[in-house]
Structure 1
Amino acid sequence: AAAMQTPAGRAAGLGRSVPPQPAGGGFGPPGSGQDAGYEGMPPEGGFGAYSDEDFVKPRGGRKWLKRSFYSVLALAVVGGGLYGGYRWTQTQYYVGANAEHVALYRGISQDLAWLSLSEIEKDHPEIELKYLPPYQRKQVEETIAEGSLANGRDKIQELATQASACKKDEQRRQADREAAVVTGEGQAGGTTGTNTSGRTTTIKPKAATPTPGPSLSEEEQKVASNCGKQQ
């Protein structure tokens, strides 16, 4: 040790070779290798028999939840759209035929498979189809969409005036025909007799007074000319 303190000893020590160290900078006796970890632990970056894929959570459950959510959302949108559409139809009105007369309907004239989209708002048996002009009768049979309740009522009033005018016009014509028949019978008829002077005379029966037809109101007079029109 004293020799190492001299300049010659230190120079000799610098010339000695250093024993080789294990590769990888690990600790332990030579030959332990770089695959062995510290004190028997697995090498860095690994976990023995497990790999990184063993610690990844499966995503199948999340996909199923997403699909279910989107399916429910789609059904809700479709159902909401159908309900909203149905509610809208119940704010609409149209005029149509009910058997042989006119009625005001709420809804639309089309049906959706098993679901009826209309019902009678108010029936009008006093407005008979046979007294409407042919073109108006056809319109009613094919339904007349009016949108709002107020417009539907206005159309009903228009048809009522027209039907009443045509009905009265028909009754007046019938009264005129009956009057003509009565007048003709009175002119053709008569009996003969002999008066006190011995002369033969013809006695004519008194003609019956024909019953006048019903009178038309001012509004009915305006539309009476439409009766019998084809279009």
Structure 2
Amino acid sequence: MSASRVEAAILAAKQERKGALIGYLPVAFPDLDTSVDAAIAMARSGADVIEFGVPYSDPVMDGLVIQEATQTALKAGFKLSQLFEAIKRVTAVVDAPVLVMTYWNPVVQYGVERFARDLAAAGGAGLITPDITPDAAAEWIDVSERTGLDRVFLAAPTSSDERLAMISQSSTGFVYTVSTMGITGERSELDAAARVLTARLRDAGDRLACVGIGISNAEQVASTLEYADGAIVGTVFVRALREGGVERLSEVVREIAEGTRR
């Protein structure tokens, strides 16, 4: 398997600052062109890794802000071909690796091999798969090995030590460390379980752990990077794009990216 661009970006961020900022946006929200401009602006404003979310009709992990954004894209006629177009346009302009956050059903419907091939051809770095576990992902693991794509699985505070070991061994790029049980969204305080879970992942042999769900300001990013390798921010960025366009998004990314330097 080829070297992980995502891992390289995170390690570079750790060397230069406290750690990495990973920024999430739904593709094709509020429209395709704006989502491309927004992802480029995010990379230029301080995000080390871009996470493009695939709009899906049953987003069980997403909070209201992200649900509303993805529904906007779906109502406008989103097609998976737009995802690959967006990634190609973004990676032609900025160096930040682009991961895709997707529920598993769209990948299966498109065809796992075909999805991986088109993602790699577009310049994508890999997949974050919130609703499939390594023990149910044999086909994806095989295809990702052959195509050089990262596979980012999720670890939750409720995961057993045995499952954490399996997740650590099966993930590449990083392990998506869920800060608290529940859906995405901003929270005034991050669950202390994230710190414990990250330590358990270290014990399980994981190299890189990035924490997501609930991180919404520079102080929370700085706090997260005291024990994790990266902080994943989504809802606050989607809200900024929705309410103030790409210009406001850029401002918010710059503000939150300060947390990687504290």
Larger RCO (CA under 8 A, 6+ residues apart): 2
Settle same-fold status: TM greater than 0.5: no
